[in-house]
Structure 1
Amino acid sequence: MSSATVTLFVVGKRGREVLDRILPGFTGWLMSDGWQAYRHFPRRLRCWAHLTRKAQGLIDSYDREAQAFGHQVQNAFDILIGAIHAARDGPPVDLPTLHAALLVELHAACVRLLGHRHAKTRALAVELWNDWDAIFRVLDNPQWPITNKDAERALRHWVIARRIMMGTRCEAGSRTFTLLSSVIETCRKRGHVPWPYLAVVIAERRAGREAAPLPAPVPGL
């Protein structure tokens, strides 16, 4: 999970129970992938990068109908991404109305392919159809993000680190790894070098005292 001033890493099963423990009573806007447990959040956006990667997978397949659908999805997102970036830099524009025909055509294709014999074609059609409102909600406000790249960027090198060290051996090891990475990334996000803070925490805990709170964000970041 990543916000403007906090990054939290969690290792564990991806289930609704875990999500409710991490985000109890969350009422803000959530950028998510297609994990079904997110769908009970009413204020939710979908990462388009996940969807365009799946479209590219269909384009690269050997099934002609899959290729055609992949191209349709990719072309639609390319047009909409261009329109969103243009709207961010220009006067207000009603993107859902402006691109209504494209959206109607894409939705009809999804409905038509809900029972398609090609598994990944069917899966992408079902995903788009099931999560349509969250996927295209960004058209109502082009200033919203269209990907969760910040969270993925924060996660990437920690995933690599876990692979290099062959993972953690127990629950305590996983908890230590995720807490340490969360503290380091949160300090960086708040404009602080993490190592002096960690040195203070270690010294305080060794002396039997409470750990110092995380440093506040640097003003102006």
Structure 2
Amino acid sequence: MWVFVASHTTLFFICSRGLEILSNVLTAKFAGNLMTDGYQAYRHLGRRLRCWAHLIRKCQGLIDSTDARVARAGKDMHEVLCTLMEAIYAARCAQSQPVGALASMHATDIACLRTLCERHRDHGNDKLRALAREFLLDWDVILRQVSEPQLPLTNKAAEQALHHWVIARRSSMGTRSEAGTRAFALLASVIETCRKRTASSWTYIAGVIAAARRGLALPALPAIPVGV
């Protein structure tokens, strides 16, 4: 299940996990910032952001390792990320700050993280090696928020949007046909979009059904509230 969450619209798709869905949804007209996890299919897209919560969880996984050296590397990476995260939150509260000031202030921390990743990019532990290479491959994307602290740090909105719909699919044992799959994704999209636009999804869906039964044009989605 895919979910694309914008300020006032949420769109669900149920399909294979490949590049085709990204090309179909995120056309050349998309000019926003795309927050993602570490899935490789996203790497060809511009203006990306990486979810730091995913990276911190991976560092914690290393910290929990029974190998002391792996645990130490994970702890060092974790500490740098947490230091930078605290600085980003503090910068958001500041009234004004020159562009690039945060990166200059924490140049030592950033260099330390880079050194850690370079040192462990060929490590014998699979998870440590994978995380070090992940940082290096997506280095500029991961550190975008240090230069632009107003940008979000996590994909929490997408995770929250997915949560109860994934549970609903599991509880109902999924769908049994292409039409059922499409209907499930469309209903989820309509309900979550109405929620974002502070409109009743049930009132809207009832209006759509009534119009369809009478052969009338289907109503558009509720408008985005003025001033939101």
TM bin, normalised by shorter chain, reads: over 0.9
Question: Which of 106, 114, 134 does residue 127 from structure 1 map onto?
Answer: 134
Structure 1 pair 170–62 and aligned structure 2 pair: CA distance change class (3 A): farther
Off by >4 Å, runs of 4+ in structure 1: none
Find the residue that maps to 2:13 and give its secondary structure. coil
Q: Determine the structure 1 residue equivalent to 2:146.
A: 139
1:52 paired with 2:59, answer no
Q: CA deviation at 1:9?
A: 0.9
CA contact (8 A) 2:122 2:129 kept: yes
Q: CA deviation at 1:213?
A: 0.7
- The correspondence of residues 100-115 of structure 1 with structure 2, limited to 5 A, is 100-115=107-122
Q: CA-to-partner distance for each residue in 1:115-170, whole Å, 9 max, x for gaps?
A: 11111111111111100100001111111100011111111111111111111122
TM-score by length of 2: 0.93
- The percent of aligned pairs where both chains have the same amino acid is 50
- Mapped to 2, the partners of 1:153 and 1:179 lie a distance apart of 18
CA contact (8 A) 1:8 1:182 kept: yes
Unaligned runs of 5+ in 2: none
CA contact (8 A) 1:29 1:43 kept: yes
Q: Determine the structure 1 residue equivalent to 2:16.
A: 13
Q: CA deviation at 1:209?
A: 3.0
CA contact (8 A) 2:103 2:146 kept: yes
Q: CA deviation at 1:217?
A: 1.1
Question: Which of 160, 163, 166 does residue 167 from structure 2 map onto?
Answer: 160
CA contact (8 A) 1:31 1:46 kept: yes
Q: Determine the structure 1 residue equivalent to 2:76.
A: 72
Find the residue that maps to 1:9 and give its secondary structure. strand
Q: CA-to-partner distance for each residue in 1:50-99, whole Å, 9 max, x for gaps?
A: 11111111111212222112111211111011101111111315111111
- The correspondence of residues 149-188 of structure 1 with structure 2, limited to 5 A, is 149-188=156-195
Find the residue that maps to 2:35 and give its secondary structure. strand
Q: Determine the structure 1 residue equivalent to 2:31.
A: 27
- Mapped to 1, the partners of 2:60 and 2:210 lie a distance apart of 51
Aligned pairs, how many? 221
Find the residue that maps to 2:5 and give its secondary structure. coil
Unaligned runs of 5+ in 1: none
- Mapped to 1, the partners of 2:180 and 2:74 lie a distance apart of 42
- Mapped to 2, the partners of 1:123 and 1:170 lie a distance apart of 38
- Mapped to 1, the partners of 2:137 and 2:50 lie a distance apart of 12
- Mapped to 2, the partners of 1:113 and 1:161 lie a distance apart of 41
1:92 paired with 2:97, answer yes
- Mapped to 2, the partners of 1:169 and 1:66 lie a distance apart of 45
